[in-house]
Amino acid sequence: MSITRREALELVGASGLAAILGTTRTRAGSESVNKKEWEYNAVSPHISPIEDDNSRIYFGTGKAVAAVDIQTGEKIWRTDVKGGRVSNSPEKRRELFVTSFQNVASLSPESGDVNWKREISTGGNTKPIVASDTLVVAHGTDYRTGTDSKVLGIDRSDGTKIWENELGGDILVTPVLKEGNVYVVTSTGTVTRINTKTGETDWETNIGTAITTQPLSHGNNIIIIGELGDYYQIDSNSGEIVRHFSTIRPQKNSHMLFDGSNVLIPGVDGLGAINQQRGLTWFYATPGGVVMPTSVGKYIYFGDTRGNIHRVNSTKGTGKKVADFTAVSQGCSDHIRLGVSGTPIVNKSKYVIPRSGGLITAINRSGVN
């Protein structure tokens, strides 16, 4: 008889999990060093900054888009165009694409000048996806008008709408692009493959539970995790479910990674490594939910909703805190407001950390690599 991780937790509690499943379970180390270099008040950024050539970051504040020097934290430009989700083009420094709840726009990353801007009927609440000459914009249900979720194909040269595909359920996370198709997940548990050239639906599969974590493309499969921790491998060509088992409960609005051996799942109380044959191999416990991890060499860096930045060895699952903002007071007693809100940028000299409440903070890596 086999048991799931959830059943094991109910039987023996977290401390006995390793004995039953052969899982390495560790907790965040106590080491924490803050060496703040600069801090920028962005007034509620809605997504992680984007690093560009190790020199600047770009982000949306809802009402504007800005560029900041990554070394000094000084503002380079600010453009008054509504945008909470920003994507860089594959050809760096060529274009920035921005979506908001009213429009989609193309900006120059050098100057912030608007190349073009188009109104869209409902809100774009995910990052725009650059698929060759097409910009794919997925947006969720507009509860003000009752408009269903839609995925749009837009000509990236001038913003002209090429196609539109209406879906049921709400789109809460950015779709994943794979070989000319986007895979869109919804709150009703549906996974849909859409051709980025034509906008046509190739297949739909429903897992029966809401999906609030971004899907992951790996090999011939699309990896999906339901909001209660149901793990699915879906054949990207046919939509057939290849494998299904229960694992850790994921953090909403985050994303998975593949480190070469394991699928890394950001959980509500830690980071889990999943071997696709054996299940959970290690689990690194955190004080808060794991927010948008990133991989640099053999380490995984991520923040949690309590305001800590962690570095974890992707092979062993051991790690430590490298920055801690939980004691920082900004006139707000809610620690979640001071938590990390997006993927930290990790370069040779510093961490750049988007935080809840509208702050972007740069921490010197000296001594805390």
Q: Which domains does the chain have, with CATH numbers?
A: 1-30+251-369 (2.40.128.630)
Query: Among 67-81, 208-222, 347-361, where is mean pLDDT lowest?
Result: 347-361
The residue among 182 and 336 whose pLDDT is bigger is 182
Q: Which of 75, 97, 68 is nearest to 352 (CA)?
A: 68
Question: Going by C-beta distance under 8 Å and a sequence separation of 6 or more, which residues neighbour residue 315?
Answer: 261, 298
11 by DSSP, 3-state: which?
helix
**Over the chain, what is the mean pLDDT?**
83
Nearest CA to 6 among 240, 248, 192?
248
- For 119-137, write each residue's pLDDT tens digit: 876 555 688 899 999 999 9
- Is-contact 151 177, C-beta < 8 A? no
Q: Which of the two residues, 327 and 141, has the higher pLDDT score?
A: 141
Q: pLDDT grade, residue 24 (50/70/90)? A: low
Question: What is the structure's pLDDT at 337?
Answer: 42
Q: Residue 184: is its pLDDT beyond 50?
A: yes
Among 299, 286, 297, 206, CA closest to 251: 286
Give the residue carrying structure tokens 């000296």.
366
- The percent of residues above 70 in pLDDT, for the chain, comes to 81
pLDDT at 88 over 50: yes
Looking at the predicted structure, is the pLDDT value of residue 92 above 80? no
pLDDT exceeds 50 at position 187: yes
The predicted pLDDT at position 50 comes to 80
Q: pLDDT (tens digit, 9 = 90+) per residue, 301-338?
A: 999 988 888 999 999 999 998 877 664 434 433 333 45
Residue 148 to residues 142, 166, 302: CA-CA distances in angstroms? Answer: 7, 7, 33
User: Residues 279-309: pLDDT tens digits?
Assistant: 899 999 999 999 889 999 899 999 998 888 8
Query: What pLDDT score was predicted for residue 359?
Result: 84
- Sheet with 308-313, side-by-side order of all strands: 290-296, 299-304, 308-313, 319-324
Predicted confidence (pLDDT) at residue 61 exceeds the cutoff of 50: yes
63 sits in the region (left: phi over 0; alpha: psi -120 to 50; else beta) called: alpha
* CA distance linking residue 353 with residue 346, whole number of Å: 9
Q: Is the pLDDT of residue 192 over 60?
A: yes
Q: What angle do CA 322, 273, 245 make, to 5 degrees?
A: 150
- Does 33 or 295 have the greater pLDDT score? 295
18 against 323, higher pLDDT: 323
Confidence label for 147 from pLDDT (cuts 50, 70 and 90): low
Structure tokens at 283: 């689990």
| Best CA proximity match to 302, nearest among 261, 251, 359 | 251
**Nearest in space to 237 (alpha carbons), one of 259, 258, 222, 216:** 222
Is the CA virtual torsion 204, 210, 214, 219 positive or negative?
negative
Task: Write down the pLDDT at residue 338.
Answer: 57
